[in-house]
């Protein structure tokens, strides 16, 4: 694998995704991705837009190496990874990717700090350092004093901030965020955006699927999946 | 170093998961307790009773002589006492009378010891027992005394079986002693001791005893047994200590075996329950496993986490089962299981029962707990670990 300093983080070329059919015996559903190409470089935010069902999440799953494409190519840090083993993709995700899911996907009854520290703890980062990092990120997202609250005790907006903090905890090269401002009030949205901007400054790339207009000024490139338009560099 | 820290993180997470999914934890623990605690309790009680029986046997006579009454044990004439005493190597002979009586509606065993015949000091050495009882005197077992509130000096009425329409005749005695010493074996709790003469009178067997207890010089038992067979002829049944041990073992094993079969049947039913309950909360777990996989976890790490969880809960369950079994034995006298192993225990509280929790059943309960929870969890874990995280987390739609 190339050193992490490679400028291009991920590139998708002519990819399509195969989904299992709803009924056994039916042919699989193959969804071609539009536009035909996607690239995320270090220090840039790429915004994916489109109506519901247009394939935003699928695109994020392919770029974040959760899925392999049925056709086409995925290059990650300059290497072809379309046909690599699930274990290898896991390793790449572990080292380079952080996800913030649309439905947050936080663990039930888990304190906020532990949710954030989880990706660090399973990487063998010492417990205290994991907790400090979680506190730091939650503090930057305006959640001082809420670190020990369990998932159920947090509002939707707070859960969303925890999900974003968790995605950034391990300092990934590529942050994949699905609607990260969907439940955030203006103040929280500002804090999330600030944190993502900080990530960009440190050389990470951010791929965001969102309808929120506040991302538009930050985006180096915007992809609209409804009209196959690409704007930006 | 890193693996060590990751492993510690996994252990912390597994412990956290047990707390975060309390329903699953409680159900699995309850299943483990329901399966392992009664078995441990019964096995410990069986072992304790067996130990006590064998200790009593060890302290008892070397030979036991009864009559042969059409192939069944019968009474022996007291004249045999002298014949037996004369055999070379015999140091002590004590005739014993044993019979069943009723105290109100509860059956009890009435025992009386006849005059000992032996060399000087042999009785003191081999059968110190209690002081001889006089006519009309009784010593009562601790359970009976507790049940009826009997104290020394009280009058006590025994119902004695007789033939005819009356079925019982009653006779009054004075209680002059209680069989409640710390070393009293559990079966003495329902025992009543009387004078030998009274027993002969009650059961209308003057000049007879139920059996002769014989102590021999060490190493002469077999030779004496052969000699007594020759002297007493086919009218006598002679049991030596190995034979008595065999009967004791067989008795315990039969009762314990019957319990074990019944229990294993119940246990086998608990296995599917436990397997199912190990998979409780699977949908939430599948989502969490998908999140972990999105962090880059591999299937083997997910399985390792589940395995640590299973082993942790199994060890906790088995340890709790051991503690519960001990508490059940100490504070509950293993009620109602004691009735399986100790006939009469359901009718009369016998007080504290002897027990010994051997390492083998304890180890077996740990192995059982780990095996069953791991088998139950591995299916759920595999299903969760093998699922496509993208489909679970992203829904496969945009």
pLDDT tens digit sequence for B349-381: 666 678 888 888 899 889 988 888 887 777 777
Confirm if B153 and B206 have CB atoms less than 8 A apart: no
- Quote the CA–CA distance of B195 and A219 in Å, as a whole number: 107
In this structure, the number of other CB atoms found within 10 A of the CB of residue B355 comes to 24
pLDDT by residue (tens digit) across B37-86? Answer: 888 888 888 888 888 878 877 778 889 999 988 888 889 999 999 999 98
Find the angle CA(B191)-CA(B195)-CA(B201) to the nearest 5 degrees.
105
Q: Looking at per-residue confidence, does B105 or A229 come out higher? A: B105
Show the tokens assigned to B307: 């395995």
Q: Is the pLDDT of residue A2 over 70?
A: no
Interface residue of B24, B394, B395 to substitute, partner A, most A CBs within 10 Å:
B394
Average pLDDT over residues A159-176: 95
Position A23 pLDDT exceeds 50: yes
Min Cα separation A59/chain B (Å) = 8
Q: What is the pLDDT, as a whole number, of residue B179?
A: 79
Q: What is the mean pLDDT of chain A?
A: 86
Between residues A231 and A183, the one the model is more confident about: A183
Burial class, A224, CB count within 10 angstroms (exposed 0-12 / middle 13-18 / buried 19+):
middle
Look at A153-157, A161-165, B32-36 and tell me which has the smallest mean pLDDT: B32-36
Q: What is the pLDDT of residue B397?
A: 39
**Residue A1, pLDDT score:** 45
Q: Which residues pair with B173 in a beta bridge?
A: B156
A 117-136 near B (Cβ less than 8 A) = 118-119, 121-127
Q: What is the pLDDT of residues A168-188, one digit of tens each?
A: 999 999 999 999 998 888 888
Predicted confidence (pLDDT) per residue in B263-280, tens digit: 777 677 667 766 666 666
Q: How far apart are the first and last CA of chain A?
A: 27
Would you mind telling me the total number of residues written for chain A in this entry? 233
Highest mean pLDDT among B211-215, B281-285, B371-375 belongs to B211-215
**A125 chain-B contacts, CB cut-off 8 A:** 5
Confidence of residue A141 (pLDDT cuts 50, 70, 90): very high
User: Is the backbone peptide bond immediately before A35 cis, with ω within 30 degrees of 0?
Assistant: yes
pLDDT band of residue B144 (cuts 50, 70, 90) is confident
Minimum distance, in Å, between the CA of residue A144 and any CA atom of chain B: 23
A98 vs B352, more confident? A98
Separation of alpha carbons A115 and A112, rounded Å = 5
Sign of the alpha-carbon torsion through B393, B395, B397, B398: negative
A219 with A196: CB under 8 angstroms?
A: no
Residue A99 confidence (pLDDT): 93
- Does the predicted model carry a pTM greater than 0.90? no
d(CA B301, CA B11): 12
Percent of chain B, pLDDT > 70? 84
Instruction: Tell me the average pLDDT across A63-92.
Output: 89
B28 has pLDDT over 60: yes
| A 26-65: CB under 8 A from B | 50, 52-61, 64
- Sequence-distant (≥ 6) Cβ neighbours of residue B367 within 8 angstroms: none
Select the more confidently predicted residue: B134 or B253: B134
**pLDDT band at residue A201 under the 50/70/90 scheme:** very high
- Beta strand A97-100 with A174-178 is parallel
- Which residues does residue B182 pair with via DSSP β-bridges, in sequence order? none
DSSP for B263-298 reads HHHHHHHHHHHHHHHHTTTHHHHHHHHHHHHHTT--
Q: Is the pLDDT of residue A230 over 90?
A: no
Q: For residue B212, is pLDDT > 90?
A: yes
Rounded to the nearest angstrom, the minimum Cα separation between A28 and chain B is: 13
- Cα–Cα distances in angstroms (integers) from residue B116 to residues A220, B113, B126, B213, B226, in the given order: 111, 8, 11, 10, 22
Using a CB-CB cut-off of 8 Å, the residues of chain B touching A94 are: 295-297
Out of B288, B294, B395, closest to residue A99 by CB: B294
Crossing angle for the helix pair B359-386 and B22-59, to the nearest 10 degrees: 160
Q: Helices (H), strands (E): how many in chain B?
A: 13, 13
| pLDDT score at B171 | 82
For chain B, give the mean pLDDT: 81
């Amino acid at each position: 694998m190339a050193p992490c300093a490679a400028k291009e983080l991920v590139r998708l070329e002519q990819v399509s995704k195969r989904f299992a059919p709803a009924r056994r015996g039916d042919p699989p559903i193959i969804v071609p991705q539009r536009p035909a190409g996607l690239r995320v470089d270090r220090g840039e935010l790429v915004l994916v837009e489109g109506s519901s069902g247009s394939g935003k999440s699928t695109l994020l799953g392919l770029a974040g190496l959760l899925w392999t494409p049925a056709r086409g190519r995925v290059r990650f840090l300059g290497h072809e990874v379309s046909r690599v083993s699930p274990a290898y993709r896991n390793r790449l995700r572990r080292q380079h990717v952080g996800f913030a899911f649309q439905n947050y996907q936080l663990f039930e009854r888990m304190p906020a700090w532990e949710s954030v520290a989880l990706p660090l703890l399973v990487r063998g980062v010492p417990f205290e350092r994991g907790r400090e990092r979680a506190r730091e990120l939650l503090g930057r997202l305006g959640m001082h004093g809420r670190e020990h609250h369990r998932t159920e005790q947090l509002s939707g907006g707070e859960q969303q901030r925890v999900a974003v903090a968790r995605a950034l905890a391990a300092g990934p090269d590529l942050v994949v965020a699905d609607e990260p401002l969907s439940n955030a009030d203006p103040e929280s949205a500002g804090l999330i955006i600030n944190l993502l901007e900080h990530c960009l400054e440190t050389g990470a790339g951010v791929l965001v699927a969102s309808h929120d207009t506040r991302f538009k000024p930050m985006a180096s490139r915007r992809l609209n999946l409804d009209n196959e338009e690409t704007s930006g560099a | 170093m890193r693996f060590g820290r990751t492993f510690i993180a996994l252990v912390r997470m597994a412990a956290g998961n047990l707390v975060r999914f309390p329903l699953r934890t409680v159900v699995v623990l309850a299943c483990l307790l329901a399966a392992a605690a009664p078995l441990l309790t019964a096995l410990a009680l069986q072992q304790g009773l067996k130990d006590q029986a064998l200790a009593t046997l060890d302290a008892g006579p070397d030979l036991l002589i009864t009559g042969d009454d059409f192939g069944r044990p019968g009474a022996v004439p007291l004249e045999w006492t002298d014949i037996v005493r004369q055999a070379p190597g015999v140091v002590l002979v004590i005739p014993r009378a044993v019979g069943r009586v009723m105290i109100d509606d509860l059956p009890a065993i009435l025992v009386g010891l006849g005059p000992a015949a032996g060399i000087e000091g042999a009785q003191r050495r081999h059968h110190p027992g209690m002081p001889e009882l006089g006519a009309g005197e009784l010593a009562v077992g601790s359970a009976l005394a507790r049940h009826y509130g009997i104290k020394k000096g009280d009058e006590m009425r025994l119902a004695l079986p007789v033939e005819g329409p009356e079925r019982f005749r009653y006779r009054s005695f004075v209680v002059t002693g209680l069989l409640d010493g710390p070393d009293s074996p559990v079966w003495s709790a329902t025992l009543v001791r009387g004078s030998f003469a009274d027993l002969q009178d009650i059961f209308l067997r003057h000049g007879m005893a139920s059996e002769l207890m014989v102590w021999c010089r060490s190493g002469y038992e077999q030779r004496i047994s052969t000699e007594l067979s020759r002297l007493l002829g086919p009218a006598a049944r002679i049991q030596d200590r190995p034979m008595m041990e065999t009967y004791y073992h067989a008795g315990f094993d039969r009762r314990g075996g019957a319990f074990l079969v019944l229990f294993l049947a119940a246990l086998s039913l608990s296995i599917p329950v436990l397997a199912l309950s190990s998979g409780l909360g699977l949908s939430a777990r599948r989502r969490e496993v998908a999140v972990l996989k999105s962090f880059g976890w591999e299937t083997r790490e997910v399985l390792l986490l589940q395995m640590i969880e299973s082993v942790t809960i199994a060890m906790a369950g088995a340890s709790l089962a051991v503690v519960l079994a001990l508490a059940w034995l100490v504070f509950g006298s293993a009620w109602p299981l004691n009735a399986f192993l100790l006939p009469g225990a359901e009718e009369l509280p016998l007080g504290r029962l002897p027990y010994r929790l051997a390492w083998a059943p304890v180890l077996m309960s740990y192995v059982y707990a780990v095996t069953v929870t791991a088998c139950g969890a591995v299916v759920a874990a595999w299903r969760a670990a093998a699922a496509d995280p993208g489909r679970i987390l992203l829904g496969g739609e945009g």
